[in-house]
Every structure is written in C-alpha cells, then in structure tokens.
C-alpha cells in the first residue's frame, strides 16, 4: 500500500525548498523596498560635487580630514583613511563594530568643507551623516539622519588623538 506522501506526488523536500525560496525572496524584496523608501528629499542636506576638478589646494585642504573621529555622545567612530582626487573617501564607521559605509565623499560648498557618509547595513538602511568641517574647533558638525527611525539629530565628531 503506497504512503500518503507518495500518493500526492510531491516530495516533502521539494515543498520545503519551495517554502525557503519564497521566504528568502520576500526578505530580499522587503530589504530593498525599505532602502528604496528613503527619498532624496528625506536627506537632511544634499551635497553637490564640484563641477570642476579639485585643485591642489583643495586636495591638501581635504587631507586634514584623514584620521579617526569620535562622537562624544556615544561609542561612534568615523575613520577617514584616505581621500581621492575626485573627492571620494575611503571611510569606515564603527558602533562599536564595523558598519558598512555605502558612500562617502568630501566637497567644497562656498567656503565650507562638507563630508557626506551613507551607511547601509543591518539597522542602518541608508542612514546619513551630512557634516561640515569646523577648522577652529577641529570638529565635524552636522546632521545625522537615522533612517530606521526616520529621525534627525545634531551631532559633532572630535578628532581622536
């Protein structure tokens, strides 16, 4: 006498594999959907890249941003390892473990040096730092947009010695 599963004609393992594929597909879709919900209008500030190549003076001015920066209100650390000629940064972010930096760049807006950092990792679905360098205090000050909670916070980073 054949078993009940054999009568249906679909092996149990095939049903389990199909269910796993459906769940994973939904998870990937949801993760991308959540990231796409962050509209450019939701960004606290838009930084524009200069339409001209940076001069030697601006490149050397940007180089002073390299180093490790600490946010005194928590265990957050921003490390700017290097700055390319086009303004892109080789940056890392820690809270206290490493958080993926999706995009990072520096630009000049009038007389100000601007730093833009976008985080894309677990619990960081497009969180953004829009910072301005304060040479008098040797600080990076600006807005942190916490994308998961859709909130903005005024923040400052001080250079770690």
Q: Are residues 90 and 111 in the same domain?
A: yes
As a whole-number percent, the residues of the chain with pLDDT over 70 amount to 72
Q: Are residues 91 and 19 in the same domain?
A: no
Q: Are residues 49 and 32 in the same domain?
A: no
Sheet with strand 139-146: strands edge to edge = 98-99, 89-94, 76-83, 67-71, 151-159, 139-146, 124-134, 112-121, 101-109
Partners of 98 in the β-ladder: 94
Share the mean pLDDT of the chain: 79
Q: Are residues 52 and 29 in the same domain?
A: no
Q: Are residues 27 and 81 in the same domain?
A: no
Q: Are residues 57 and 105 in the same domain?
A: yes
Q: Are residues 93 and 153 in the same domain?
A: yes
Q: Are residues 113 and 153 in the same domain?
A: yes
The per-residue pLDDT for range 88-123, each reduced to its tens digit, is: 999 999 999 999 999 999 999 888 999 999 999 998
Contacts of 52 (CB under 8 A, 6+ apart): none
Q: Are residues 58 and 86 in the same domain?
A: yes
Q: Are residues 26 and 96 in the same domain?
A: no
Q: Are residues 154 and 118 in the same domain?
A: yes
Stretch 128-144: mean pLDDT? 96
Rounded Cα distance, 125 and 26, in Å: 17
As a whole-number percent, the residues of the chain with pLDDT over 90 amount to 52
Stretch 42-56: mean pLDDT? 42
| Confidence (pTM) | 0.65
Backbone φ and ψ of 103, nearest 5°: -150, 140
Q: Do the Cβ atoms of 69 and 78 come closer than 8 Å?
A: yes
State which residues form the domain around 20: 4-36
Stretch 59-88: mean pLDDT? 90
pLDDT value at residue 18: 79
> What total of structural domains would you count in the chain?
2
């Amino acid at each position: 006498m054949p078993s009940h599963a054999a009568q249906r004609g679909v092996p149990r393992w095939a049903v389990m594999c199909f269910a796993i594929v459906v769940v994973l597909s939904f998870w990937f879709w949801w993760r991308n959907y959540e990231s796409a919900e962050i509209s450019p209008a939701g960004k606290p500030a838009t930084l524009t890249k200069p339409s001209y190549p940076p001069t030697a003076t601006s490149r050397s001015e940007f180089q002073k941003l390299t180093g490790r920066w600490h946010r005194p209100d928590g265990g957050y650390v921003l490390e700017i390892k290097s700055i390319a000629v086009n303004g892109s940064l080789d940056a890392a972010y820690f809270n206290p473990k490493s958080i993926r930096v999706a995009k990072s760049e520096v630009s000049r807006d009038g007389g100000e040096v601007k730093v833009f950092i976008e985080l894309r990792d677990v619990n960081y679905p497009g969180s953004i730092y829009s910072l301005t360098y304060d040479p008098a205090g040797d600080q990076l000050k600006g807005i942190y947009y916490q994308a998961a909670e859709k909130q903005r916070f005024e923040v400052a980073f001080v250079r770690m010695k």
